[in-house]
Amino acid sequence: MSELMRIPAPDGVAAADQYSHVVLGTGRFVAIAGQLALDERRGLVGEGDPVAQARQVFENLRRCLAAAGATFDDVVKLTYFVTDMAHMPAVRAARAEHIPDDRLPAASAVQVTALVRPEFLIEVEAFAVVAP
């Protein structure tokens, strides 16, 4: 695990409840491609269910991070792509199962008209810094 410094609200910037504005650290940079609600057999998990899809997405992120020798403690940035902003509570709940409030990474949430296939509701990509 790398030593990361989180700055929730730099001077002159309004504090955010769901993310840190700045996260910095030293180490190996790890980029995790956008993860979808697919199981290991490429089957969709949770058709039409943002809660089930968000949980699977975060489980896939966990597995990808582990493959790089990282954990959610090493994540410095998450980007959420959702087909409807109404899915964000499900995303936040799934994130809370893996990342405590005192370790929140920087984040962006983007509503998109579609993901790679119409049955996908959520995609999340991650960037991490792992101690050398």
pLDDT at 4 over 70: yes
3-state secondary structure at position 113: coil
pLDDT at 1 over 60: no
Question: Rounded to the nearest 5°, which phi and psi values hold at 52?
Answer: -65, -40
pLDDT at 2 over 70: no
